[in-house]
Amino acid sequence: MLSYFDLRKGVKFILDGQPYEVLEFQQIYKAQDMVVARTKIRNLISGKVLEKTFRQSDTFEEAELEKVEVEFLYSHRGKYYFCEMKNPKNRFELTEEQIGSASKFLKPKQTPSPAKRGEAGDEIKPQQSLTGIKFQEKIINVILPIKVQLKVIEAPPGVKGERAQAGTKPVTLETGAKINAPLFIKEGDIIEINTQTGEYVQRIEKG
């Protein structure tokens, strides 16, 4: 069993019969030496994020989750379709709300990429594949790699704008996602993006 103190970022637990992941954890001291945990948690089935406060007396069951390698096939009208890598006949669908904002970085047939060296000569780790999360024998969600590599399909000329946006410009990726990238990024470049923050990381190849 987990205590309220165990509900740290990344911990997965059961609440009301459903699996949740802790996104934020903060201890709050109240009157009469009472300590509570103020958390932000995400339902791994629905994708909804809640703010919950737990007390010292609360206990939780740890979520028993299985991980499987999956492949993204295609999207249609707000739904995303996947299959298991080892058993392609096992297909499943998820909504954009379930996956979260990282869904805009999903690329069909996205497979692990080999190790390579960046423009600065540093080694770039191989890109990981998608991970499916199984709960009670059913895949309930997917986890994207922290970093993915995508091609830039639209990039306006690098013109400095307002001071807050100095040194960056909006570009469009092959998945349709739009992010801010450095002024030197051009159409055809392959860049690396952090799927958790939605931010540019580095250029992998020139177009």
The DSSP annotation for 98-152 comes to: HH-GGGGG--TT--PPPPEE-TTSPEEPPPP-EEEEEETTEEEEEE--SEEEEEE
- What domains, with CATH codes, occur in the chain? 2-62 (2.30.30.30), 66-146 (2.40.50.140), 149-205 (2.40.50.140)
Residue partners of 73: CB distance under 8 A and separation at least 6: 81, 82, 83, 91, 108, 109
- For residue 172, what are the contacts with CB-CB under 8 A and spacing of at least 6? 152, 153, 154, 155, 178
Average per-residue pLDDT for the chain: 87
44-53, 55-64, 119-128, range with the lowest pLDDT: 119-128
pLDDT band at residue 162 using 50, 70 and 90 as cut-offs: very low
Tracing tokens 């047939």 back to the chain, one arrives at 109
- pTM (predicted TM-score): 0.78
Give the mean pLDDT of 94-101.
92
Least confident of 29-33, 53-57, 172-176, 177-181: 29-33
Side-by-side strand order, sheet with 35-43: 2-3, 59-62, 12-15, 18-29, 35-43, 49-55
Beta bridge partners of 178: 172
